[in-house]
Amino acid sequence: MAIDVPAQPEFGEPLPVEAAPEVLAFLARRRSASALSLRGPGPSAGEIETLIRLAARVPDHGKLFPWRFLVLEGEAKAAMAEKLAVMAKNRTDAPKATAALGKFSLPPVAICVVSRIMPGDIPEWEQVLSAGAVCSTLLNAASAMGYGANWITDWYSTDEAAKAVIGVRPGDRVAGIIYIGTPAEAPLERVRPEVGRLISRPEAG
């Protein structure tokens, strides 16, 4: 695979605003792959680092970097899946919670994007939105690299004991877990909104 990605620009380097037709074509057809369809190969360590570097280039009011990345893969991820399976069995929604773990277990790589609110003047809402932007960018970057990817939360993103199993610090929130791998089959287009119905042009109130 090994796609060349430009290095991080130098601080203060001019970055001309240019049309990027390939990006528009990508956005016009991008689609998440089912997490259950994802198998190896997944991104290499170098590709994961590149994906996270790209994902961290999002708008971020106050330059607080209010997000962290937990890379879950290999034996560590398998051990987490075993612990989560025990927790799932003890839940009131045990069958559903257990079934949901397939999405955690099967993909070779999962990158958990954590929203960590930083103290100061920047509203929490804006810091959370920035974490969402990180998830979107990571999803798109992984797809643009040729991998299948899906943004999932599921019960283990909000259950405090489960969050601890995957390495989320108390007080941090999971913005999303981006599962990445090679899809067993091409995803099919899903329902999309007629955006005309979502747009209005308000007059001054």
Residues of this chain that interact with ligand FMN (CB under 6 A) are 31-32, 150-154, 176, 190
Nearer to ligand FMN, 54 or 177 (CB): 177
CA distance 28 to 144: 12
Residues near 9 by beta carbon (within 8 Å), at least 6 away in sequence: 15
Tokens 């601080």 belong to residue:
11
Q: How far is the CB of 190 from ligand FMN (least distance, A)?
A: 6
β-strands 148-152, 173-183: how paired? antiparallel
Encode 159-191 in three state secondary structure: CHHHHHHCCCCCCCEEEEEEEEEEECCCCCCCC
Q: How far is the CB of 64 from ligand FMN (least distance, A)?
A: 20
Nearer to ligand FMN, 48 or 138 (CB): 138
In the three-class reduction of DSSP (H, G, I as helix; E, B as strand; rest coil), residue 151 is classed as strand
Q: How far is the CB of 26 from ligand FMN (least distance, A)?
A: 13
Q: How far is the CB of 137 from ligand FMN (least distance, A)?
A: 13
CA distance 113 to 68: 6
What is the Cα Rg of the chain in Å?
A: 18
Nearer to ligand FMN, 60 or 154 (CB): 154
Q: How far is the CB of 32 from ligand FMN (least distance, A)?
A: 3
Q: How far is the CB of 34 from ligand FMN (least distance, A)?
A: 7
Query: With left for phi above 0 and alpha for psi between -120 and 50, is residue 169 left, alpha or beta?
Result: beta
Nearer to ligand FMN, 136 or 167 (CB): 136
Nearer to ligand FMN, 41 or 102 (CB): 102
Torsions phi, psi for 110 (to 5 deg): -130, 130
Residue of minimal Cβ distance to ligand FMN = 32
Nearer to ligand FMN, 65 or 151 (CB): 151
